[in-house]
Structure 1
Amino acid sequence: MPELPEVEVVRRGLVKWVRGRTINAVDVLDERSIRRHALGTEDFAGNLAGATVLDVVRRGKFLWMPLLDAESNGASADASPDATGAAHTTRPPAVALMAHLGMSGQLLMQDNGVPDEKHLKVRLRLSPREGMPEQLRFVDQRIFGGLFITSMVPTDDGGPGGLAESPLPLIAEEASHIARDPLDPAFSFELFYRRLRKRKTGLKRALLDQGLVSGIGNIYADEALWRAKLHYARPTDTLRRAEAERVLGCTREVMLDALAAGGTSFDSLYVNVNGASGYFDRSLNAYGREGQFCVRCAAAGINATIRREQFMNRSSYTCPVCQPRPRNGRW
């Protein structure tokens, strides 16, 4: 499943291509991909037609596009996009188009003449803009993802809803339950640390808890813990401030490195909006390297190999030398 860096790669691509453009028409080719929109296909397409995409926002792995509805768009002269593609309006958006990528969802920009992809589910026909593709396509092989319209609600802390070009103190309702992610400028380490210390659980379980910190999945948790030289079973209530700062800093580092590489891709399912796969998997130090030498230990002349252990119906990868299991680790 795409993790935060992969979704951020998609967000950055969408900002460039769809911000400030109007959705002229919607083609739903497979109703299963809008099943989360309870009012059905006609309502989904009718609400999107004529709406303008104001921005593309991400918190954790959640991605949404705040919309200026057709009525406001037609009535307000200040809703037209400027030279940067931003649409200006004094009225805050009431709804957003939310995209859930699931296991294999892709958002692709395509020209009208490009043949439909085999697993194309939804097509948004956008207002023309010179040099830009006319269609935003949602492609999903396994149909675990989907698109739906959701309400925008105020954030609980009054800060921006997520990472965006023009941040607003609003968040898509379906994302309002999750915490801020490590790349969010409004992320509070103090709040994170207080909540972390109150939990009586293992460190990796805490990092995967979207109510504590969002956007960290199995791959990047293993990579961050390897960089921080901490074992996944370290009890959170024993974690010192410096250790919490270290693991959070390492989480940011590994995510930024993944962003620079275009994300992590193990097959052809994850691609950005131009169809290019990420390649950060070539730089992984722990995840998926069972039986291979730990590069840090090897550099120090120590013979240690990465081990794999069962963890929450998944796997965790650690070095037994530089990430020793804590004596009181129970998770």
Structure 2
Amino acid sequence: MPELPEVEVVRRGLERWVAGRTIASAEVLHPRAVRRNAGELPDQLKGRTVLSAERRGKYLWLPLHDGPADRYLVAAGDDEAPESPVAAEALLAHLGMSGQLLVVDPLAPVEKHLRVRLCFADGGPELRFVDQRTFGHVLVAPMVQRSPRPVPEPITHIAADPLESAFDDAEFATRLRLRRTGIKRALLDQSLISGVGNIYADEALWRARLHWARPTETLSRPVIAELLSAVREVMAEALGQGGTSFDSLYVNVNGESGYFDRSLAVYGRRDEPCPRCGTPVRREAFMNRSSYSCPKCQPTPRNARP
């Protein structure tokens, strides 16, 4: 499943290609890809302008406005900025296991697993939601005010992610120590910290020299600060390389794959040498998935919490 860096790569592409454009029509080709009344989506989107592209954790949304976009552009020499548009609703998207948001020429062939198609009034590239496994979804949702910015109503329970200015390191440390669970399980809890999934949790824990089953209540604030630093470092590096692509299902809006998988230290590298000490990487079962770590750099704690 795409994690924060992969979703941020897509968001940046949407910001570049979709923001400021008015939707002329929307077509739903598979109702399961749309939550909350798929039949209403075309009418909900027609004639509305995309103001920007936003993200929190693994969720993307396009704030929608009923007025024309050029009304809000500041002309050279203007003494006063125009009124800022307010989005009462947004098109919210979650990519799931295999979802793709592609910016495509209107004359391009239709993809085999095309689920939703948006055409724009300017006749330029359209936005297509393609999802082979149909675990992802889109929907129009009301915006709810949350400090420091509004978010779509369905994701008000999602915590800020570590790349957001709204993320509070001290509050995270306090809440983490109260969890009384294993550190990796806590990192995957989207109500505590959003955007971190299996891949980047393993990579950050390796950088911080922490075993995934280390009890959260045993972590000091300096150790938590080191872990947050490792999370941010690995995500920033992944962003710089376009994210992690293990197959053709994860691509950016132009259909291009990321290549951070070449830089992974432990994830998916069972029995390969640890880049730091040379010890073979181990794979352990974790929540019906796998955890990868170095036995020497990340020794299993005696009070492990799986």
Under a length normalisation based on structure 1, what TM-score does the superposition of the two structures give? Answer: 0.88
Task: Kindly state the Cα deviation for residue 174 of structure 1 after the two structures are TM-superposed.
Answer: 1.2
**Which residue does the alignment assign to 2:245?**
265
Task: Kindly state the Cα deviation for residue 113 of structure 1 after the two structures are TM-superposed.
Answer: 1.5
Q: Distance in 1 between matches of 2:263 and 2:270?
A: 15
Say whether residues 1:222 and 2:202 are aligned partners.
Answer: yes
**Which residue does the alignment assign to 2:128?**
137
Say whether residues 1:112 and 2:109 are aligned partners.
Answer: no
Say whether residues 1:328 and 2:303 are aligned partners.
Answer: yes
Task: Kindly state the Cα deviation for residue 81 of structure 1 after the two structures are TM-superposed.
Answer: 8.5
**Range 310-319 or range 111-120, more displaced:** 111-120
Change in CA separation of 1:82 and 1:316 when aligned onto 2, cut-off 3 Å: farther
List runs of 5+ in structure 2 lacking aligned partners: 77-81
**Which residue does the alignment assign to 2:4?**
4
SS of equivalent to 2:9: helix
Task: Kindly state the Cα deviation for residue 79 of structure 1 after the two structures are TM-superposed.
Answer: 4.1
Task: Kindly state the Cα deviation for residue 330 of structure 1 after the two structures are TM-superposed.
Answer: 2.5
2:287 aligned partner, one-letter code: M
| 1:65–1:97 contact (8 Å) kept in structure 2 | yes
Say whether residues 1:51 and 2:10 are aligned partners.
Answer: no
Q: Distance in 1 between matches of 2:32 and 2:119?
A: 20
**Which residue does the alignment assign to 2:79?**
none
Task: Kindly state the Cα deviation for residue 245 of structure 1 after the two structures are TM-superposed.
Answer: 0.5
SS of equivalent to 1:12: helix
Task: Kindly state the Cα deviation for residue 29 of structure 1 after the two structures are TM-superposed.
Answer: 1.6
Q: Distance in 2 between matches of 1:118 and 1:81?
A: 42
Q: Distance in 2 between matches of 1:258 and 1:209?
A: 21
1:120 aligned partner, one-letter code: L
**Which residue does the alignment assign to 1:78?**
71
List runs of 5+ in structure 1 lacking aligned partners: 160-168, 299-303
| 2:72–2:85 contact (8 Å) kept in structure 1 | no
Match of 1:146 among 133, 137, 141: 137
Q: Distance in 2 between matches of 1:81 and 1:10?
A: 27
Q: Deviations over 1:293-313 (max 9, x none)?
A: 111003xxxxx1100000111
**Which residue does the alignment assign to 1:277?**
257
Task: Kindly state the Cα deviation for residue 138 of structure 1 after the two structures are TM-superposed.
Answer: 0.7
Change in CA separation of 1:81 and 1:137 when aligned onto 2, cut-off 3 Å: farther
Q: Distance in 1 between matches of 2:113 and 2:240?
A: 28
| 1:24–1:127 contact (8 Å) kept in structure 2 | yes
Under a length normalisation based on structure 2, what TM-score does the superposition of the two structures give? Answer: 0.95
| 1:120–1:137 contact (8 Å) kept in structure 2 | yes
Task: Give every structure 1 segment of 4 or more consecutive aligned residues whose post-TM-superposition deviation is greater than 6 Å.
Answer: none
Q: CA RMSD in A?
A: 1.8
Say whether residues 1:286 and 2:266 are aligned partners.
Answer: yes
Task: Kindly state the Cα deviation for residue 122 of structure 1 after the two structures are TM-superposed.
Answer: 1.1
1:263 aligned partner, one-letter code: G
Q: Distance in 2 between matches of 1:67 and 1:253?
A: 33
Change in CA separation of 1:288 and 1:236 when aligned onto 2, cut-off 3 Å: same
Q: Distance in 1 between matches of 2:115 and 2:192?
A: 33
Change in CA separation of 1:235 and 1:96 when aligned onto 2, cut-off 3 Å: same
**Which residue does the alignment assign to 1:307?**
282
Q: Distance in 2 between matches of 1:136 and 1:82?
A: 28
Match of 1:194 among 174, 181, 195: 174
**Which residue does the alignment assign to 1:123?**
117
SS of equivalent to 1:297: coil
| 1:29–1:121 contact (8 Å) kept in structure 2 | yes
Task: Kindly state the Cα deviation for residue 127 of structure 1 after the two structures are TM-superposed.
Answer: 2.6
**Which residue does the alignment assign to 1:164?**
none
**Which residue does the alignment assign to 1:97?**
91
Task: Kindly state the Cα deviation for residue 134 of structure 1 after the two structures are TM-superposed.
Answer: 2.4
Task: Kindly state the Cα deviation for residue 123 of structure 1 after the two structures are TM-superposed.
Answer: 0.9
Say whether residues 1:206 and 2:186 are aligned partners.
Answer: yes
Q: Distance in 2 between matches of 1:231 and 1:287?
A: 13
Report the number of matched residues.
302
Q: Distance in 1 between matches of 2:204 and 2:70?
A: 48
Task: Kindly state the Cα deviation for residue 91 of structure 1 after the two structures are TM-superposed.
Answer: 4.5
SS of equivalent to 2:106: coil
Say whether residues 1:248 and 2:239 are aligned partners.
Answer: no
**Which residue does the alignment assign to 1:16?**
16
**Which residue does the alignment assign to 1:318?**
293
| 1:13–1:273 contact (8 Å) kept in structure 2 | yes
Q: Distance in 2 between matches of 1:251 and 1:82?
A: 41
Change in CA separation of 1:319 and 1:262 when aligned onto 2, cut-off 3 Å: same
